[in-house]
Structure 1
Amino acid sequence: MRIDQVLSEAAACLARCASGEAATPHLDAQLLMAHVLGRSRTWLYTWGDREIEGVELEQFKDLVERREQGEPVAWLLGYREFFGLRLAVSPHTLIPRPDTETLVEQALLRMPANGARALDLGTGSGAIALALASERPAWQVTGIDIVAGAVALARRNADALGITNVHFEEGHFFSALPPAARFELIVSNPPYIDEGDEHLRQGDVRFEPRSALVAGQNGMADLWHLIDTARHFLAPDGWLLLEHGHQQGGAVRTALLEAGYDGVSTCQDLGGRERVSLGQWPSPLSNSLKQEGS
């Protein structure tokens, strides 16, 4: 069969599949076909009249069937692109998403290019830590995750990308750090979904680890913990940036302000939804200026 005919049929199947998860059926089919053939999507457009048969056709059909059942495309391919990096993914971690690039962009905007120490908590595949380390070679970046499989995956991604100014440790948020550790930047995309949220039964999220998605207290427990504890690990004038649900911006800003952070604000993601809130831990000088002003 011709490649373009096979792609058309596969896209039609994904569009009407019973699970209803293929929101981008044509793109999904193209990505899977390009993966099987070892070609780019551009090549598919140019050479769509070529034949596909035998083992390659069977491999493609198998991947399409798995996608019809809702299995994430990233798992089928074995990787996901994030901030220009190709990252291996696995069931141990969340699949990196474009909206999380907002967190990276905002962190880069607020820090000088030289000499910063950055910490990524709940690093998963290492996406955020590796993006920061790649964009800022002079930084020293640490990624921490409670799941051993995630730490191993993040280390493999760093090795594959040749990024050397990052290292990964196993631990629950700050537990892997010595008490004297200080960072100019702390970032995190923590669990922030309430356990009763209907989105947990939809799309790729159904296949991802609940421990990386769900938090207590209506999804706010880990966010509150990070806001409270980060104060003890931030250098003066250091920044804390947190990804959160699009309806949690107000609560996160309130928590940051009540904990004593300055410059508190929220940034929108690619869809115009509140996604990243941030605050700066004041230096002794700024604290004294505040007291004088009051």
Structure 2
Amino acid sequence: MAVPQKKMSEAQQRALLRYVDIGLNWIKGGISFDDVVRTLGKPEFKSDQLGKIEYDWFPENIMTVSFTFDRENSADDKPTISTFRISVADSVHTNIPYEQFDSLGMQRVARGERLDNIRTEKDEFFSPNGMIDTSGSLPKNYVRFAWRQPLPEDSPYDIYASFGYLGEWINPHIVGGLSNFRNAVDLRDITISRFYLLPEELQQRNEAKRQKYGYMNLRTGSVCPETGLWEGWTETGATDVLQVEKGRKFDVVRTVPAWEGGSCPMIDGRWYWLCSPDQVAGFTWHGVNLRGRT
């Protein structure tokens, strides 16, 4: 990484921060990629390889702004939102204190923080990447700061933002924490990404909810505590599945399993959590595609 030679102007820094707002909004699903193009103009470069589709802009040739879709986690063969990234040219110096990004509405990553009913945070807010890099490709004074977007507990993905900075070690002879680092104002890169939960993580989450709500003895006439797909049971086992909205009352259940089809008498029964509406794509229940039941 070359030594920065010129300062980014205030107007250019405001533009960079505007790109961050747009990128974060896109990652969160607040705007579409068409909205991005209407705002930034036609992409200057497109790459489609290795399961990724990337669109790039090069504002004033002082930074690269990238939006990336992922084919690997695609739903219904439609690429999913993956990553937003800004890379500042090596020859340009910025003056954007890392604390400024506390205003994005994200929260600083904190190890041990509860993420949902099965996971806790494993990362730290501050990482001395340059000091711990064994490849020698990073300057010793390169560090990263991490934020996390608060999301509903049933979100199928996490959103993390990572900001790479050059600064100054107070004591360069030790690998220290944030208290040993100062002048973190030279922003070098930004990465904001969606990290989709693995199928086994989603299953663990559903099993934990199923157990939690099972203790509530939810039956026909009970108030639904959370919007999702619920499995209806008679005394002989599971027979039905429906999407039920939070606050609505649970209905009666089929006496003949839904996968056998046809009409049948309905009776009072118990209801158990199955999955969130976001997980319906590709989800089958006793051989039945659940998409038509949402």
Structure-1-length-normalised TM-score: 0.26
Q: Which structure shows the higher strand fraction?
A: 2
Q: Which structure shows the higher helix fraction?
A: 1
Larger radius of gyration: 2
